[in-house]
Amino acid sequence: MRVATDIGGTFTDLVCLEIDKESGKPIGVNVAKSDTTPSNFEQGILDTIEKAKIDLNQINFFAHGTTVVINALTERKGAKTALITTKGFRDVLEIARCNRPDLFNFNFVKQPPFVPRYLRFEVEERMNYKGQVIKELNTSTLNSIIAACKQENVRSIAICLLHAYKNPRHEILLVDELSRLFPEVEIIASFQVTREWREYERTSSTALSGYVLPIAKKYLNNLEEKLKEKGLKNAPYIMQSNGGITSINDVKDNPITMVESGPASGVFGAIALGKVINRKDLIVLDIGGTTAKCALVENGQVKITTNYKIEHSRIEAGYPIQTPVIDIVEIGNGGGSIAWIDEGGKLHVGPKSAGAMPGPAAYGRGGKNLTTTDANILTGRIHPDYFLGGELQPDYSSIEEASKPLCKSLKGTKEDIAKGILRIANANMINALKLISVNKGYDPRDFAMVVIGGGGAMHGADLARELQISELIIPPHAGVFSAFGMLMSDIRRDYIRTNVLTLVQKQRHNIQSVFAEMENEALNNFKIDGYTRENITFTYYTDLRYAGQEHYVKVLLSDFDNDTPLEAIIEYFHKEHKKQYSFELDTTVELVNFHLVAEVEVDKPDFPKMKNTGKAIEDAIFDNKEVDFDDLGIHNTPFYHRDLLEPKMTIQGPAIISEKATTTVVTPMHVVHIDEYGNLILTLQKA
């Protein structure tokens, strides 16, 4: 049996795939959910294991995704961390990039650094940009730095020296020396986190890694131990932000790679699903309680970036973390997003969310604000028996109360307001979806859309219609799809290095030797987990740009060997550049970053198929009610139990398909087919 657990902000999810011993084919899926236990995250996992009645002795594959890193960061619960930099540069972390996204607010407050100035130390040393030593490292001051750290009870030390991305020699020497002199603290240097340039971003990444290192290590150790106690034989795999899993020991060395593991696994789950149903170009949308996240998948691949920031918004600069994260756009729009009116009389939805407490007005827990969920109820799209998994009936008087102030200022009925809220929430999501598609030169019509999360299926049909996406896919267990995705992930490590050179024939040798060096690094890392060259698949990417430009285009070097002419790569770059930026230049092309992806394919199960037992579709209908489809009119609409739907069934919209964790809205313009895996496939019909 294979198990994946995913700790989210509100819930901890578990998905267990039961495999038939004889055939090796999956026979069923077991799902469990329990409350996330922030003081003691591993408890939540044990709770779900208990709930699902799983015997860990029987589990041969255990994957795990956790918010422990992002939580430690956003709640400032990491360890007291010191920073060591090149002499003259300890303030780089605090000066940051000097930008002010809240442009016209002259009374802003800059976000404070994670390491205060009195814990930022300097050592004498210097490299130039070519990685040549121009001042040797002087370690004689380390003793006084250590004394100061001891005095302040520092638990972790981060090291970031100038140009270490090019030559980490001084950082390596420092790590060795510090480990010898001060073994009781955690030590991490920038070269272990990122090999890209830009000293502020690298310093920030390293400081934040140091900050979470002790807490993450402790968590992983506890988890490993407790799972072992309960009978788990093999060490668990851990989900990373790049969409791959890796060994638990690998993550312990550099836990910052887990920072965005939840959304990553949802996207990779969609990619895996796409492979079996033969859809390689996907837009994946995950709508949760507070946010919506989306990503674009082209030919089965999602882009990985290192431009990730936490606490970044339209008004705050945020803190960069240069770690490989799948390229997602996240906006403050989810089921709990609050509708509000500004001084000028304009209606907005989000980014503020009612959360789980008090939650939407419909929860009847004192929520005084109308939310997107309430609007879905007002339009009749959520069946009262399926509200909150059927645990609760919507509190209609509370909704009525919450809608009053909006009705008054906007001079409309509560049904009008509800439709307005849904339109605006959808428009916000459309803008996010355009950011990943149209804005990057992709036509959404060339894609199928996969919607997951509790709210994805509620809004998917309207969004697909707006973007003219003809096919919408709602997988089974869409509400816990992130956990599901982990079962389908391979072991993956991303290696990225800045090494600027001109893309000309005489550099071919250099390009190959940099990649060879990176391959060696990867082989060494994988050796620890017992994998050899034969197990590993390498994929080669380069970040290319026109000389003089700053931003680059990631180019896959497929079949890059001794014979591939560089012209072919350059030609491809021109094409990609034109696609993204609408022009090409007759200028030298530069290579900025080398990006090597090393993957080990794990033995993955097939997606479980669903049997057709010959049920009658009429039996799935449990109610008929009026539902407001906004511009498509109000229709008397059948409500279906999703659990009673089977492959080969077809439903003509309008329809509502209810299940415990989500509701699928089928507009009058859509028709639904249930495929052999139990996916709902919504197809847009020509009007």
Partner 1 sequence: MEKFTLEIIQDALVAAGDEMFKTLERTSMSPIIYESLDYAVGITDTKGELLAQGNGVTAFLAALDSVVRATLEKYNETTSLKEGDVIIANTPYAGGGTHLSDVSIVYPVFYDKKLVAFTVNKAHWTELGGTFPGSVSTVATEIYQEGLHFPFIKIKSEGVFNEAVIDMIKANVRLPDSTLGDLYAGIAAAEVGSKRVISIIEKYGLETYKKAKNDFLAYGERMCIEALKEIPNGVYEGETSIEDNGFGEGPFPIKAKVTVTDTEFIADFNGSHPQVKGATNLAFSGLVTGCRSLFKAITTPRMDANGGAFRPMKVLCEPGTIVSAEAPSAVSVYYEVLITSIDLLWKILAPIIPDKLPAGHLRSVCATFISGTHPDTNQFYIQAEPLAGGWGASATHDGNRGQLSCGSGESYNIPIEIREMRYGIQVEQYAFHNEGGGYGEFQGGNGQYLDYKIISDGAHVTAAFLGEKTKTWGMNKGHDGSYNYFMIIRKNGTKERHSLGTNIYLEKGDIVRCVTATGGGYGNPNDRPKEQVLSDVKNGYITKKEAQEFYHIKK
Selected from 23, 39, 99, 299, the binder of partner 1 by CB under 8 A is: 99
Q: How far is CA 122 from CA 9, 88, 139, 153, 180, in A?
A: 38, 7, 10, 18, 19
10 Å Cβ neighbour count for 241?
27
- Give the number of C-alpha atoms closer than 13 A to the C-alpha of residue 540, restricted to the C-beta side: 16
CB of 410 to partner 1, least distance (A): 7
Residue 147 interacting with partner 1 (CB under 8 A): no
Residue 346 interacting with partner 1 (CB under 8 A): yes
Measured distance CA(74)–CA(76) in Å, rounded: 5
> What's the DSSP call for residue 371?
B
CB of 417 to partner 1, least distance (A): 9
Q: What residues numbered 148-167 form the site for partner 1, per CB under 8 A?
A: 162-163, 165
Residue 561 interacting with partner 1 (CB under 8 A): no
10 Å Cβ neighbour count for 558?
12
Selected from 551, 575, 611, 615, the binder of partner 1 by CB under 8 A is: 551
Residue 91 interacting with partner 1 (CB under 8 A): yes
Measured distance CA(400)–CA(143) in Å, rounded: 67
Q: Give the 3-state DSSP-derived string for 284-333, with helices as H, strands as E and coil as C.
A: EEEECCCCEEEEEEECCEECEECCEEECCCCCCCCEEECCCEECCEEECC
Q: Which is closer to partner 1, CB of 147 or CB of 315?
A: 315
Let me know how many helices (H) and strands (E) the chain has, helices first: 16, 34
CA 569 to chain CA centroid, nearest Å: 30
Residue 200 interacting with partner 1 (CB under 8 A): yes
CB of 93 to partner 1, least distance (A): 10
CB of 423 to partner 1, least distance (A): 5
By three-state DSSP, how is residue 16 classified? strand
Measured distance CA(636)–CA(576) in Å, rounded: 48
Residue with tokens 């030590």: 187
Q: Are strands 133-138 and 120-127 parallel, antiparallel or unpaired?
A: antiparallel
Residue 650 interacting with partner 1 (CB under 8 A): no
Residue 110 interacting with partner 1 (CB under 8 A): yes
Candidate segments 82-90, 136-144, 269-277, 649-657, binder of partner 1 by CB under 8 A: 82-90
CB of 133 to partner 1, least distance (A): 13
Residue 96 interacting with partner 1 (CB under 8 A): yes
Measured distance CA(683)–CA(279) in Å, rounded: 14
Measured distance CA(573)–CA(583) in Å, rounded: 12
Angle CA 203–209–214, to nearest 5: 140
Cis-peptide, bond into residue 116, ω within 30° of zero: no
Q: What residues numbered 494-513 form the site for partner 1, per CB under 8 A?
A: 500
CB of 657 to partner 1, least distance (A): 27
Candidate segments 23-31, 128-136, 400-408, 503-511, binder of partner 1 by CB under 8 A: 128-136
CB of 391 to partner 1, least distance (A): 32
Burial status of residue 197 (CB atoms within 10 A of its CB: 0-12, 13-18, 19 or more): buried
Q: How far is CA 292 from CA 188, 217, 374, 428, in A?
A: 33, 30, 17, 10
Candidate segments 37-45, 171-179, 556-564, 575-583, binder of partner 1 by CB under 8 A: 575-583
Selected from 183, 530, 548, 614, the binder of partner 1 by CB under 8 A is: 548
Selected from 100, 228, 309, 673, the binder of partner 1 by CB under 8 A is: 100
CB of 91 to partner 1, least distance (A): 5
Q: Which is closer to partner 1, CB of 404 or CB of 551?
A: 551
Q: What residues numbered 179-198 form the site for partner 1, per CB under 8 A?
A: 197-198
Angle CA 561–130–192, to nearest 5: 75
Candidate segments 53-61, 85-93, 176-184, 564-572, binder of partner 1 by CB under 8 A: 85-93
Measured distance CA(162)–CA(85) in Å, rounded: 8
Residue 95 interacting with partner 1 (CB under 8 A): yes
Binding pattern to partner 1, positions 426-455, x when CB under 8 A? -xx--x--xx---x----------------
Selected from 167, 512, 539, 549, the binder of partner 1 by CB under 8 A is: 549
Tokens of 679: 């996916």
Measured distance CA(363)–CA(322) in Å, rounded: 40
Residue 368 interacting with partner 1 (CB under 8 A): no
By three-state DSSP, how is residue 142 classified? helix
CB of 544 to partner 1, least distance (A): 13
Amino acid at position 162, single letter: L
Phi, psi of 272 (to 5 degrees): -65, -40
Measured distance CA(649)–CA(671) in Å, rounded: 11
Q: What residues numbered 400-429 form the site for partner 1, per CB under 8 A?
A: 410, 412, 416, 419-420, 423-424, 427-428
How many residues in the shown chain lie near partner 1 by CB under 8 A?
A: 70
CB of 540 to partner 1, least distance (A): 23
| Percent of the chain as helix, strand, coil, to the nearest 5 | 35, 30, 35
Binding pattern to partner 1, positions 577-596, x when CB under 8 A? ---xxxx-x-x---------
Measured distance CA(626)–CA(102) in Å, rounded: 45
Selected from 43, 58, 102, 356, the binder of partner 1 by CB under 8 A is: 102
CA distance between the termini of the chain: 46
Binding pattern to partner 1, positions 234-273, x when CB under 8 A? ----------------------------------------
Candidate segments 126-134, 287-295, 359-367, 483-491, binder of partner 1 by CB under 8 A: 126-134
CB of 55 to partner 1, least distance (A): 52
CB of 567 to partner 1, least distance (A): 21
CB of 440 to partner 1, least distance (A): 10
Say which residues have a Cβ less than 8 Å from residue 586's Cβ, sequence separation at least 6. none
Residue 687 interacting with partner 1 (CB under 8 A): no
Amino acid at position 104, single letter: F
Candidate segments 57-65, 252-260, 338-346, 644-652, binder of partner 1 by CB under 8 A: 338-346
Residue 344 interacting with partner 1 (CB under 8 A): yes
Q: Which is closer to partner 1, CB of 90 or CB of 381?
A: 90
Angle at which helices 456-466 and 414-436 cross, to 10°: 70
Which residues here bind partner 1, judged by CB under 8 A? 87-92, 94-110, 116-118, 128-130, 162-163, 165, 197-201, 315, 342-347, 410, 412, 416, 419-420, 423-424, 427-428, 431, 434-435, 439, 500, 546-551, 580-583, 585, 587
